[in-house]
Amino acid sequence: MSFSAHPQAARTVLVTGAAGGLGRAFALGFAERGYRVAVADLDADGAAETARLVEKAGADAWHGRVDVTDPAATAEIASRVAEFGGGTIDVLVNNAAVYATITRSAFEDIDPAEWDLVMAVNLKGPWLMTRAVSPYLPEGGRVVNLSSATVYSGSEQWAHYVASKGGVIALTRVMAKELGRRGITVNAIAPGFTLTEASRGLLADAESYGVDRGALRRASQPGDIVGAALYLAGPDSGFVTGQTMVVDGGRQFI
């Protein structure tokens, strides 16, 4: 774990699952907006590489390894990131999730061990991370959780993933009420199929998958999702909380 000096005026964001893919895109997006960026992932080498890219983009970076299913590990990383942030963590982006490695099968055939893993990372993880970061969130702090548009489409042969992401929406609403008493907002983003390294590895036709079902006839890029996170973390969304923003080019109308 490491961090560098930073200007006190900058805000601090912690992004989990940021060793690559959408998490790395979040980290770089926040860096471009002048945030101090803390990068956390189970993949320590990937987190270090993201931090290097953040610094290359001109922002202060911190990186560390975390297992989001471990209460002690989440508490430890929250403490270290708060140190990096001068005592506070302004924004938490709960992005870590099991996704690309999931075995797609009928709900009757899902391995119970895989079910437990998906629930532990995708649902228990955001709960533990927010619990750990909560003491360091100031008034005006932001929590952004990553759900999925699959909650609304009911994607077949993915019951554990869809259920975990539905749980994230429910958790978001409860935490919004509880943290709202301190002036902290909690919202979720539900992306549609987005072109990341992981998504491209799932489907041979990833570039065109679902494009014909959207109001906007193009594939979703990571930057589309990053923009939503920057909005929910920024000053223009100060009175928005407990909401789920579907970002899928108009494939689902909620």
| Angle 19-93-123 from CA coordinates, rounded to 5° | 90
pLDDT at 251: 82
Burial (CB < 10 A; 0-12, 13-18, 19+), residue 113, is exposed
pLDDT single digits (tens) 73-86: 999 999 999 999 99
**Above 90 in pLDDT, residue 215?**
no
User: Measured between alpha carbons, how far is 23 from 95 in angstroms, rounded to an integer?
Assistant: 6
Nearest by Cα to 161 from 151, 170, 171: 151
Decide if domain 2-247 falls under CATH 3.40.50.12160: no
pLDDT single digits (tens) 100-151: 888 889 999 999 999 999 999 999 999 999 999 999 999 999 999 999 999 9
**Above 50 in pLDDT, residue 5?**
no
- Annotation marks residue 161 as catalytic: yes
Active-site residue, selected from the candidate residues 35, 136, 161, 209? 161
Cβ proximity of 82 and 136 under 8 Å: yes
Global pTM reads 0.92
